């Protein structure tokens, strides 16, 4: 599910509520003063699920609309009739008004609406204000529902930001057992790096404002082409879209239109925006200026931590990158956006996106912009090791300065390279177990390949057998179990033998039947990266 | 201008392409440029040229056809305009730039291209293409340099990419130049006229220029396509050996380097050896270039090092390779590492670092061989029998040998790993018996190809 982009079918006409008593997105939201100096937005597990629900409303697609839509007034007259109460005329009109097609809101289901309507009217009946209420100006049930949801979310977020237990919550976030750093931890560092006063209450208010109301107008215009279809088709479409998520880069790129004169300056103030490849000069009204993008980044970081929805995040980051590019913004903020996107892509193994970010980062660092060049240069080396791109590796080597070669992450990556070049698997797997930053995600990509190569070596060199434990230790397996599994998965059980409570790996036998050679050859043959030019 | 017409007439009467091409050279002293530029003005230049060309060719046996005259008028007209920009550049006028020269020169080359495709230029005039293409490349490089040094990054055309292209604009002219050269390549390749009068004779000149350009653009891989279409059209092309030697050497050199970059050392060695043998004995720089790649190739394919004699006349190569060679020969692993590290920048720049690094295997092999030799012989089992070398060697001895050089104790497991590599690569024959901590080497040729 892509939370912020509900492609909810829409009944053809846009809701244009006439008398708006409750505006779904209030002009301002009261925000309580921060009371602690803890990390800005950690996510205590319990509230997580609640906020899920709160966000959830926008993602629940409306139920399949009845094909034979009853006349607007019908349900209104039916419902109260059951109760055998004399409804005043004004109430009947109110109910009627609620179901007028132009007043329907696609984010509020019919059931919800009916329930709410019932509640409103019975409440009025019970409290005896039925005849005193001015039903003509009364907010429609769908508006009330929306408003309630908004309120619920706001208080939710406020509870989050002011919750006194939250300070410790950051620390109790489940410790990642993996040795790799998660991209999330990374952005957390950055959150902490931001002084608390920088995150002004105002901007936070603004932010939450956006979350609760992901700009309906905007969304609807985007959904319009789809909204005309019925929701079944819609769902299929969504499903299909899902399947291709992450496959944004199509091999075919339509020829770019002629260039425009200069950079646009964006005026769009919506935080979120779907990624669409530009086919015409960018329009200022749909491009977000830098200060808005900064808020977007904060929002996305938060969402990533909470929801871990990669296809959504990737889409959003791509549109951010696009906005930065069309406005020719190249500064430290740009670096930050690319770095974060690169880390997230790395964590999710999306090498195509990662490679795009990396290419940009290289150029940005060359402009002298600050960031984490050392970290990313190290990734770059590891990446080229993975893709076995010798030419690029050569170029990287040529670009490194002596000082850079001494930086730990870069030195590590260079050592990995030389260990592999010399076939020193012993050293390679030692380095693998001690990889700085997120390099482990990259090394994971080629570690099995190198294991197969090492197996070829070991099988030929050791006779007649070795202890499985030796293989486990030499090739960086997590345990004998893991090593045995790897062997069995690749070449079957024939080469393992139990002897005196030891498991032996029959190297001579594996060598004789050349078990590993074809596997090794196959593993080195296919290094095909999506998005790689 | 009259000189040009005279030489034009002479060249045509003798069908001398090189002489003809000289009339189109942009490498002229300032005075000459001025003379050419002043000899006509924008109004009458075309008619001046037409008259000149017609009169100079009137004495010819086979007169130029009307189309040909039209074509050559176009060529010289564009040449005349290019001279204007060149002159402006030479005189340092404020309104001049290499980019303008490049554009004007490109027009000249286009006029030539049209001459061949539309106006029936004959194949013997192909050296004109050489002059055009060669200088186009020169102007392109100058234009890029000038632009890059003057304005840091002018906002050149904006495309709708999601990310900005970091490389765009840096080599704008040279990239364009590569495209133009490619057109010339196609022009030569696609000529279906019989061989004697085919433009195919121009092909290797253009190919070599393209090689140079692609290498400079850091996209050597693009050369592959060109090689492919060359191989595809080889059937109806003159053999390489029929072309001028200079073209052969250059072509073979680049072909060798391309294979080298793909780690195809056997193939690379083949081409480089041909280039080496054909290379003029006094072309020191070219010989050095060839050797820069041939020596690492040789080291990997045949495990041999360059002789003193070979390196003697090339002090630069000596400096580059000698320390490394010495350490390999003596099996000094640590010295090898240091030598590699010290010259790393040079090696990387020439793209031979990753290849030379593999020479470490040979150094290691030599070191292990020393250990084996130091082990001496087994006590003879019976008198008079041929003494046998000790073939069971404790791993510890190898560990000690490797650790000795670097003065650092190596993990025995790591040494075993290195030994395993040696065995895997057939540099050493035998096996490791891990349980007993010994290496059992083959009795017949433990180190293949080294006499023991």
pLDDT tens readout for residues A205-255: 444 444 444 444 444 444 444 444 455 566 666 666 555 554 444 444 445
Has residue A414 got a pLDDT over 80? Answer: yes
| CA separation for the pair A397, A340 (Å, rounded) | 25
Q: Which long-range contacts (CB under 8 A, 24 or more apart) does B424-429 make?
A: B424/A423, B424/A456, B424/A457, B424/A460, B424/A461, B425/A423, B425/B361, B427/B361, B427/B362, B427/B365, B428/B365, B428/B368
Please report the pLDDT score of residue A143 as a whole number: 76
B337 touches chain A (CB under 8 A): no
User: Which positions 319-378 of A are in contact with B (Cβ < 8 Å)?
Assistant: 321-322, 325-326, 328, 330, 356, 359-360, 362-363, 366
Lowest mean pLDDT among A51-65, A106-120, A456-470, B303-317: A51-65
Q: Do the Cβ atoms of B221 and A391 come within 8 Å?
A: yes
**3-class SS string, chain B:** CHHHHHHHHHHHHHCCHHHHHHCCCCCCCHHHHHHHHHCCCCCCHHHHHHHHHHHHHHCCCCCCCHHHHHHHHHHHHHHHHHHHHHHHHHCCCCCCCHHHHHHHHHHHHHHHHHHHHHCCCCHHHCHHHHHHHHHHHHHHHHHHHHHHHHCCCCCCCCCCCCCCCCCCCCCHHHHHHHHHHHHHHHHHHCCCCCHHHCHHHHHHHHHHHHHHHHHHCCCHHHHHHHHHHHHHCHHHCCCHHHCCHHHHHHHHHHHHHHHHHCCCHHHHHHHHHHHHHHCCCCCHHHHHHHHHHHHHHHHHHHCCCCCHHHHCCCHHHHHHHHHHHHHHHHCCHHHHHHHHHHCHHHHHHCCCHHHHHCHHHHHHHHHHHHHHHHCCECCCCCCCCCCCECCEEEHHHHHHHHHHHHCCCCCHHHHHHHHHHHHHCCCCCEEEECCCCEEEECCCCCCCCCCC
Alpha-carbon distances of A349 from A189, A274, A305, A310, rounded to whole Å:
22, 22, 17, 11
Q: Which of A487, B179, B192, A336 is nearest to A344 (CA)?
A: A336
> What six digits make up the tokens of B311?
């390196």
0.80 cut: is pTM over it? no
Q: Do A422 and B421 touch (CB under 8 A)?
A: yes
Cβ-contact A381, A411 below 8 angstroms: no
Query: What confidence score (pLDDT) does residue A261 get?
Result: 55
pLDDT at position A53 is 40
Residue in A330, A397, A457 closest to B424 by CB: A457
pLDDT band at B324 (very low <50, low <70, confident <90, very high): very high
3-state secondary structure of A32: coil
* Contact: B163, A423; criterion CB under 8 Å: no
Most confident stretch, A350-364, A389-403, B171-185, B282-296: B282-296
A:242-261 residues touching chain B, CB 8 A cutoff? 256-257, 259-261
Domain ranges of chain B: 2-149+169-235, 242-357, 370-379+387-441
A74 vs B171: CA distance, rounded Å: 72
The answer to whether A460 contacts B348, with C-beta atoms less than 8 Å apart, is no
**Going from the N-terminus, what domains does chain A have, and what CATH number goes with each?**
43-59+73-165 (no CATH), 450-525 (1.10.10)
Read off the pLDDT band of B164 (50, 70, 90). low
| Stretch A59-68: mean pLDDT | 44
Does the distance separating the beta carbons of A325 and B161 come in below 8 Å? Answer: yes
CB contact under 8 A, A259 and B159: yes
pLDDT in tens, A465-504: 899 999 999 999 999 999 999 999 998 888 888 888 888 8
Q: Which of A278-292, B104-118, B424-438 has the lowest mean pLDDT?
A: A278-292
pLDDT in tens, B182-234: 999 988 888 878 887 888 888 899 999 999 999 888 888 788 888 888 888 77
- Report the pLDDT averaged over residues B75-101: 88
- CA distance to partner chain A, nearest, from residue B320 (Å): 17
Tell me the C-alpha distance between B368 and B379, whole Å: 22
Q: Would an 8 Å CB–CB cutoff place B118 in contact with chain A?
A: no
- B164 contacts chain A (CB < 8 A): yes
Instruction: Report the pLDDT value the prediction gives residue A527, as an integer from 0 to 100.
Output: 58
pLDDT, residue A387, reads: 87
Quick one: average pLDDT of B45-68?
80
Q: Quick one: which H or E segment has residue A421?
A: helix A408-421
Instruction: Read off the pLDDT of residues B342-395 as tens digits, 9 standing for 90 and up.
Output: 999 899 988 899 999 999 999 999 999 999 998 888 777 777 677 788 888 999
Where would I find the H helices in A251-372?
290-307, 310-326, 332-347, 351-366
Predicted confidence at residue B170, as pLDDT, reads 77
Residue B433 has pLDDT above 50, yes or no: yes
A98: Cα separation from own chain's centroid: 37
Least confident of A30-39, A270-279, B96-105, B156-165: A30-39
DSSP code of A266? -
pLDDT at residue A8 in the model: 45
Nearest to B357 among A325, A421, A463 (CB): A421
**Where is average pLDDT lowest: A146-160, A447-461, B48-62, B149-163?**
B149-163
Q: Name the pLDDT band for A180 (thresholds 50, 70, 90).
A: low
Q: Average model confidence (pLDDT) for chain B?
A: 86
Arithmetic mean of pLDDT over chain A: 71
pLDDT of B254: 94
- Assigned CATH for B370-379+387-441: 1.10.10.10
Count CB-CB contacts under 10 A for residue A314.
20
**pLDDT of res. B41:** 83
pLDDT at residue B260 above 60? yes
For residues A76-95, give the mean pLDDT: 60
| pLDDT band at residue B416 under the 50/70/90 scheme | very high
What DSSP designation does A502 have? E
Those residues whose C-beta lies under 8 Å from the C-beta of residue A500, and which sit 6 or more positions away, are none
pLDDT of residue B287 exceeding 60: yes
Note whether A147 contacts B: Cβ–Cβ < 8 A: no
Interface A–B counts its CB contacts (< 8 A) at 119
Confidence of residue A169 (pLDDT cuts 50, 70, 90): very low
Q: State the SS3 of A239-259.
A: HHHHHCCCCCCCCCCCCCCCC
Q: Which chain B residues are Cβ-neighbours of A262 within 8 angstroms?
A: 155, 158
Q: Which pLDDT belongs to residue B62?
A: 65
The pLDDT value given to residue A239: 60
Within 8 A of A426 by CB-CB distance, chain B residues are: 411, 413-414, 416-417
């Amino acid at each position: 599910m892509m939370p912020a982009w509900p492609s909810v079918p829409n009944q053809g006409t846009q809701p244009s509520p006439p008398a708006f008593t409750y505006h779904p997105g209030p002009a301002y939201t009261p925000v309580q003063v921060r009371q602690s100096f803890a990390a800005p937005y950690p996510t205590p597990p319990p509230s997580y699920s609640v906020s899920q629900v709160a966000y959830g409303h926008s993602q629940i697609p409306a139920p399949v609309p009845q094909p034979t839509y009853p006349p607007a007034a019908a349900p209104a007259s039916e419902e109260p009739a059951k109760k055998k109460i004399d409804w005043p005329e004004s109430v009947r009109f109110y109910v009627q008004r609620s179901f007028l097609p132009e007043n329907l809101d696609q984010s509020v289901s019919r059931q919800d609406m009916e329930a709410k309507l019932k509640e409103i009217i019975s409440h009025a009946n019970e409290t005896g204000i039925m005849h005193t209420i001015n039903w003509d100006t009364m907010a429609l049930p769908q508006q009330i529902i929306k408003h309630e949801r908004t309120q619920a979310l706001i208080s939710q977020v406020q509870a989050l930001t002011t919750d006194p237990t939250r300070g410790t919550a950051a620390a109790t976030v489940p410790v990642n057992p993996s040795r790799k750093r998660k991209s999330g931890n990374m952005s957390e560092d950055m959150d902490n790096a931001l002084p608390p006063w920088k995150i002004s209450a105002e901007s936070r208010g603004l932010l939450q404002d956006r979350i609760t109301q992901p700009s309906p107008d905007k969304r609807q215009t985007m959904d319009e082409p789809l909204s005309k279809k019925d929701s079944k088709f819609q769902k299929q479409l969504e499903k299909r879209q899902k399947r291709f998520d992450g496959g944004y880069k199509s091999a075919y790129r339509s020829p770019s239109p002629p260039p425009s004169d200069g950079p646009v300056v964006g005026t769009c103030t919506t935080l979120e925006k779907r990624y669409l490849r530009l086919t015409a000069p960018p329009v200022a009204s749909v491009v977000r200026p830098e200060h808005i993008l900064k808020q977007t980044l904060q929002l996305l970081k938060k969402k990533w931590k909470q929801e871990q929805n990669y296809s959504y995040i990737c889409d959003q980051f791509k549109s951010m990158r696009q906005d930065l590019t069309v406005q020719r913004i190249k500064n430290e903020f740009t670096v930050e956006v690319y770095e974060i996107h690169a880390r997230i892509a790395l964590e999710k193994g999306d090498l195509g996106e990662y490679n795009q970010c990396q290419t940009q980062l290289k150029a940005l660092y060359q402009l002298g912009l600050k960031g984490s060049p050392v970290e990313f240069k190290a990734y770059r080396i590891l990446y080229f090791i993975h893709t076995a791109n010798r030419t690029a590796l050569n170029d990287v080597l040529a670009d490194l300065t002596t000082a850079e070669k001494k930086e730990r992450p870069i030195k590590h990556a260079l050592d990995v390279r030389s260990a592999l070049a010399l076939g020193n698997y012993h050293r390679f797997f030692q380095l693998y177990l001690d990889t700085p930053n997120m390099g482990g995600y990259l090394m994971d990509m080629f570690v099995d390949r190198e294991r197969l190569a090492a197996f070829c070596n070991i099988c030929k060199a050791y006779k007649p057998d070795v202890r499985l434990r030796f293989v486990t230790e030499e090739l960086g397996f997590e345990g004998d179990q893991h090593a045995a599994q790897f062997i069995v998965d690749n070449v079957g059980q024939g080469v393992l033998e139990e002897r005196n409570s030891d498991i032996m790996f029959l190297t001579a036998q594996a060598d004789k039947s050349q078990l590993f050679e074809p596997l090794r050859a196959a593993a080195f043959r296919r290094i095909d990266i999506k998005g790689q030019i | 201008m009259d000189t040009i017409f005279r030489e034009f007439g002479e060249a045509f009467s003798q069908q001398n392409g090189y002489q003809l091409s000289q009339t189109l050279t942009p490498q002229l002293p300032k005075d000459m440029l001025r003379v050419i530029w002043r000899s006509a003005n924008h109004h009458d230049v075309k008619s001046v040229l037409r008259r000149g060309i017609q009169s100079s060719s009137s004495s010819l046996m086979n007169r130029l056809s009307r189309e040909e005259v039209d074509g050559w008028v176009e060529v010289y007209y564009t040449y005349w305009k290019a001279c204007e920009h060149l002159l402006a550049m030479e005189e340092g006028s404020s309104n001049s730039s290499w980019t303008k020269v490049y554009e004007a020169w490109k027009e000249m080359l286009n006029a030539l291209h049209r001459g061949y495709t539309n106006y029936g230029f004959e194949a013997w005039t192909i050296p004109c293409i050489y002059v055009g293409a060669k200088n186009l490349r020169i102007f392109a490089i100058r234009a890029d340099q000038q632009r890059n040094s003057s304005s840091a990054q002018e906002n050149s055309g904006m495309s709708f990419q999601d990310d900005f292209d970091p490389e765009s604009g840096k080599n704008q002219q040279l990239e364009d130049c590569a495209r133009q050269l490619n057109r010339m390549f196609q022009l030569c390749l696609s000529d279906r006229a019989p061989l004697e009068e085919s433009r195919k004779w121009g092909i290797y000149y253009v190919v070599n220029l393209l090689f140079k350009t692609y290498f400079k653009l850091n996209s050597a891989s693009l050369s592959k396509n060109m090689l492919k279409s060359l191989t595809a059209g080889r059937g109806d092309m003159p053999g390489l050996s029929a072309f001028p030697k200079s073209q052969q050497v250059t072509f073979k050199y680049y072909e060798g380097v391309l294979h080298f970059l793909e780690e195809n050392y056997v193939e690379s060695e083949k081409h480089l050896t041909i280039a080496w043998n054909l290379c003029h004995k006094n072309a020191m720089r070219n010989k050095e270039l060839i050797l820069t790649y041939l020596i690492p190739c040789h080291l990997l394919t045949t495990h041999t090092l360059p002789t003193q004699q070979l390196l003697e006349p090339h002090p630069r190569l000596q400096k580059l390779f000698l320390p490394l060679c010495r350490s390999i020969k003596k099996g000094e692993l640590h010295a090898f590492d240091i030598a590699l590290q010290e010259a790393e920048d040079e090696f990387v720049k020439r793209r031979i670092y990753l290849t030379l690094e593999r020479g470490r295997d040979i150094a290691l092999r030599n070191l292990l061989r020393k250990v084996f030799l130091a082990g001496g012989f087994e006590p003879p089992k019976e008198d008079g029998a041929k003494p046998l070398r000790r073939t069971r060697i404790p791993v510890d001895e190898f560990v000690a040998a490797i650790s000795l050089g670097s003065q650092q104790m190596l993990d025995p497991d790591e040494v075993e790993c290195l030994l395993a590599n040696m065995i895997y690569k057939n540099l050493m024959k035998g096996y490791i018996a891990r349980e007993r901590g010994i290496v059992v080497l083959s009795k017949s040729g433990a180190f293949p190809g080294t006499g023991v």
